[in-house]
Structure 1
């Protein structure tokens, strides 16, 4: 067996990545826009032509999500550790290769800000920011920023970007963590946190993260 030096191994890995990921993304784009032969519908129907989601219907932004995180969510819908009546049957019609292709495609899409949405109530933003950045240690609630980053842009494959995600979707997921309909969190972390949040807390933190820049390079004010 040929032993590669570290620098040669890295060069080979980079070359393979540059070759494989674009091909996967192209396949993912076809499924996202037209579905597949197994009967899975086009993802754009619910998540929008550019993966930015449909906030009024509660469908989340997928564009720019970490590929490994995205893939794990599809697997969770498949094995029912994340329960959703819409996604469950769709994922059953996606092969493992289809899921990888979709993850690669959506990870490569540009993220845009939610310009034009109604501004959140200032009091909700203040309360949400306090929970997000400092937590509520009297009730055992850590700061969201400890896992999702100070600006809510996500950390690795375990903690997704929530900055700029639609508030309606954030609320629905916190409720799903609370009830156990979603239980694919590391060490049960989100379930425990959601149980300690009031309905007002959930609305506030969702409003705060929904007001943040999803694309940090785009300059705009998040204040109402």
Structure 2
């Protein structure tokens, strides 16, 4: 627990010290929709647009994320701190300014609310328990303690997970559990390792059901 608190303080300190030139939203939109001549693929191909999302669930929804968090992930992909065969080459093809521009663009736009299949009530109940209360028996604190009420995120450094694709959330938790995802591993690794695969699935399905409406997280 002390390690988690220390890591959170370091992240928030870094976020507070973060400063960047005023981003160019139009340039960010151009990158998102067209990519760059240097080889960065258009973001919308995987992450969707204002009116339509990628429905596979393999790529994250960019809803309600801060510019800082998106930019930090791009930097981690570029440096190799976060390993991904798709995002690594794309992030490396972007300049620092282009990373900031596209991060600012995605931090501001709104996405349509996706329709998701309702999971079994017992599964959602377990997911909600872990999200809101945690589980003392396995020494896992509530997800909302860090990710905010309803999993809406704690800007600038802690991401929103409300309404995120279940497939993506499950994959990331398992990556931390198995040690495959390295960034934020000091925070998420110990938690993910204490969760069973069933608990991971329950959490992912629960947060997928939570939608962000008018700035509030609402369980469907």
TM-score (norm 1): 0.83
Task: After superposition, give the CA deviation of every residue in 1:141-187 in whole Å (9 maximum; x if it has no partner).
Answer: 110010011211000222111000111110011011112222221x7
| Equivalent residue number for residue 164 of structure 1 | 163
Q: SS of the residue aligned with 1:61?
A: coil
Q: Please report how far the alpha carbon of residue 117 of structure 1 lies from its aligned counterpart in structure 2 after TM superposition.
A: 2.0
| Equivalent residue number for residue 37 of structure 1 | 37
Rg larger in 1 or in 2?
1
Distance change >3 Å, CA 144–CA 205, structure 1 → 2 = same
| Equivalent residue number for residue 118 of structure 1 | 117
Q: Please report how far the alpha carbon of residue 113 of structure 1 lies from its aligned counterpart in structure 2 after TM superposition.
A: 2.0
Task: After superposition, give the CA deviation of every residue in 1:115-161 in whole Å (9 maximum; x if it has no partner).
Answer: x3211111111000000011111111110010011211000222111
Q: Please report how far the alpha carbon of residue 221 of structure 1 lies from its aligned counterpart in structure 2 after TM superposition.
A: 6.2
| Equivalent residue number for residue 20 of structure 1 | 22
Task: After superposition, give the CA deviation of every residue in 1:20-64 in whole Å (9 maximum; x if it has no partner).
Answer: 34xx11100000000001011100111112287424251111133
| Equivalent residue number for residue 83 of structure 1 | 83
Do 1:25 and 1:102's aligned partners in 2 also have CA atoms closer than 8 Å?
yes
| Equivalent residue number for residue 149 of structure 1 | 148
Q: Give the number of aligned pairs.
A: 201
Matches within 5 A, 1:64-103: 64-103=64-103
Distance 1:53 1:124 in 2: 26
Q: SS of the residue aligned with 1:161?
A: coil
| Equivalent residue number for residue 12 of structure 1 | none
Do 1:78 and 1:91's aligned partners in 2 also have CA atoms closer than 8 Å?
yes
Distance 1:107 1:162 in 2: 14
Do 2:162 and 2:217's aligned partners in 1 also have CA atoms closer than 8 Å?
no
Runs of 5+ consecutive residues of structure 1 not aligned to the other structure: 1-16
Q: SS of the residue aligned with 1:154?
A: coil
Distance 1:43 1:25 in 2: 14
Runs of 5+ consecutive residues of structure 2 not aligned to the other structure: 1-19
